[in-house]
Amino acid sequence: MGFFALLLKFLSPLEAMICAVAAFLHNLYIFPFYGRRKIEKDFEKEKRYSAIVSYPAVVFFIILFSYLTNFKDIKMAMAVAASSWAVLSFGDSVAGFLGKILGGPRLLWNKEKTWAGSISFFIFSGLFSYPFFNYTLEKKIFDSDAKLLMLTLLCAFCCAVVESLSGQYDDNISFPFVAFSIFSLYSCFDFKGMKQSLFVFNLDNNLNAIFLFTLVSINFGFALVAYLKKWVDLKGFLFGLFLGFVVILSRGIKGYIVLILFFLIANFSTFYRKKLKEERGIEEENKGRRGIESVFSKGLAPMVFSFFSFEAFALCLSFYASDTVATEFGKTSQGKTFSLIELKEVAPGISGAVTLKGTFYGILSIFVFNLISLFDYNSHQINIKFFLISVVLVAMFFFIESIINDINKRIRVTSKVLIHIVLGFLLCAFSSAISCFAGSGS
């Protein structure tokens, strides 16, 4: 089915989405009568959920999101969709096939996956997504393009990592959106502008080098304190240390302050009225000590996008902070806890459930976080238009995350870690597109 992505060169976004809807309805209602049940696995039949149904739905959203982030250039939008579709079709299928055929050592973090499968995913997703992008954009399929090559390699690596994570009943709904998010950057940055914006490329004298060393030392000290205070475990400490180092290299002290702001808000929320949470039996696992899954799930997207857009980096952390605030403050609420899907009262601490207290403080944290991170301390002003747009955008993802968690709680097709990662990448894609086309003033 992956070669159908080449047809995007000749279709409008609306026509392509109509085709995706038709394929979805066919696979859902018609295909079961003559073939779907024969190719479904036993656990798919038991769960009444088939990846062959989710496949066209994912393609639909990839096309829709590509159009929304590149509506000024339809050809570019379809090229982004085609390359993301290629990763979905060829990277995943070849990885699954070669992983079983070649076998070999298992991944350290997921014993159900092999190194051969993940390496195959990396190679073949890149081999197909690069020419699909160029072909749809009406260029020579292997036309030399350093920017596209960089995004292709970054996409292949990130998607291979995301695809390899455990807890995925259906990985079709995770890494394709990561691929879209990365390829959507193509029209919003250039190497020259990227180089000028990154802190590491502006170290032109010894004073700056000393400043960098000082920041790195502060990062190590802060990460060590977090470990000794038992805010994170050893693996969380190591990844957090690496995340801080990357943010320093990409965004300097401004980016690092935003990262620390997120960390402080998240940890304050986690330990807020901890005894009450313990009494209710809904405290954070491991006594509030964040492990590698928590740190990685909320660190991967902002770390990647810190190299491309400060706004995307900041808004992503704003979203993650608001999610933690709403969850942890909501656990201490004396009021009712509701399911947004069923619109009825549920037990506190349930994934996807909301409270008025948690929602209020979650939205408040978005407002405060965005105000602090988007404020221009050189000009002592803020772009009000972009600030308001950013608050609305993050608030939308804030509610979407609750709805998706509520749905996933019932069908269990993925993990909360993957939901955090995917929504983080999508938010980064939309926020970088808005800052590119609308202007952020920062």
Of 39-53, 346-360, 366-380, which has the strongest mean pLDDT?
366-380
Q: Output the pLDDT for position 439.
A: 60
For the chain, the residue count is 442
Mean pLDDT to the nearest integer, 347-352: 74
Helices within 272-309 (DSSP H only): 274-280, 292-297, 300-305
Cβ-contact 49, 170 below 8 angstroms: yes
Reported as a single tens digit per residue, the pLDDT across 315-343 is 999 999 999 999 999 888 888 888 888 77
Tell me the CB-side half-sphere exposure of residue 397, using CA atoms within 13 A: 28
Last residue in a domain, options 140, 164, 187: 187
Q: Indicate if 326 and 367 belong to the same structural domain.
A: yes
How far is residue 384's CA from residue 382's CA, in Å, rounded to a whole number?
Answer: 6
* Beta pairing, strands 344-346 & 353-354: unpaired
Residue type for 124, please? F
CB atoms closer than 10 angstroms to residue 50:
20
One domain for residues 262 and 323: yes
Same domain assignment for residues 53 and 98? yes
Rounded CA gap, 158 and 85, in Å? 15
3-class state of residue 226 by DSSP:
helix
Structure tokens at 56: 């066209």
| Most distant CA atoms of the chain, gap in Å | 72
Mean pLDDT (the chain, rounded):
89
What pLDDT does residue 188 have? 83
Please give the Cα distance from 386 to 178 (Å, whole number): 24
- If one counts every other C-beta atom within 10 angstroms of the C-beta of residue 43, the result is 9
Higher pLDDT, 412 or 164: 164
Q: CA dist 120 to 95, 252, 300, Å?
A: 5, 35, 22
Question: Do 182 and 249 belong together in one domain?
Answer: no
Mark whether 391 and 254 lie in a shared domain: yes
- By residue range, what is the domain housing residue 44? 2-187
Torsion, CA 107, CA 231, CA 314, CA 157, rounded to 10: -10
Do the Cβ atoms of 155 and 179 come closer than 8 Å? Answer: yes
Smallest Cα–Cα separation from 373: which of 202, 197, 253? 253
Please report how many Cα atoms fall inside a 13 Å half-sphere around the Cα of residue 22, on the Cβ side.
6
Q: Of 143-152, 187-196, 266-275, where does mean pLDDT reach its minimum?
A: 187-196
Q: Are residues 217 and 357 in the same domain?
A: yes
Last residue in a domain, options 120, 155, 187: 187
Beta carbons of 384 and 399 less than 8 angstroms apart: no
CA dist 205 and 203 (Å) reads 6
Q: How far apart are CA 158 and CA 397, in angstroms?
A: 21
Same domain, yes or no, for 84 and 214? no
Strands (E), 291-409: 337-339, 344-346, 353-354
Distance CA 381, CA 374 (A): 9
Shared domain for 151 and 198, answered yes or no, is: no
Name the token pair of 127: 């081999």
Instruction: Give buried/exposed letters for 229-249 (b at 16+ CB in 10 A, else e).
Output: eebbbeebbebbbebbbbbbb
Amino acid at 364: L
Other CB atoms within 10 A of residue 331 CB:
25
| H helix runs in 172-233, sequence order | 175-183, 191-197, 206-228
Which residue blocks in 137-174 are alpha helix, DSSP H? 146-164
Cα Rg, the chain, nearest whole Å: 22
pLDDT band at 441 (very low <50, low <70, confident <90, very high): very low
Choose one of 126, 157, 187: the last residue of a domain.
Answer: 187
- 332 and 209 in a single domain? The answer is yes
**Number of other residues whose CB lies within 10 A of the CB of residue 220:** 13
Give yes or no for residue 284 having a pLDDT over 80.
no
**pTM metric for this prediction:** 0.92
Count the domains in the chain.
2
- Decide if pLDDT at 56 tops 60: yes
Q: Both 308 and 351 in a single domain?
A: yes
pLDDT confidence band for 404 (50 / 70 / 90): very high
140 in the same domain as 216: no
> pLDDT band for position 442 (50/70/90)?
very low
Say whether both 225 and 146 belong to one domain.
no
Contact in structure between 76 and 36 (CB atoms under 8 Å): no
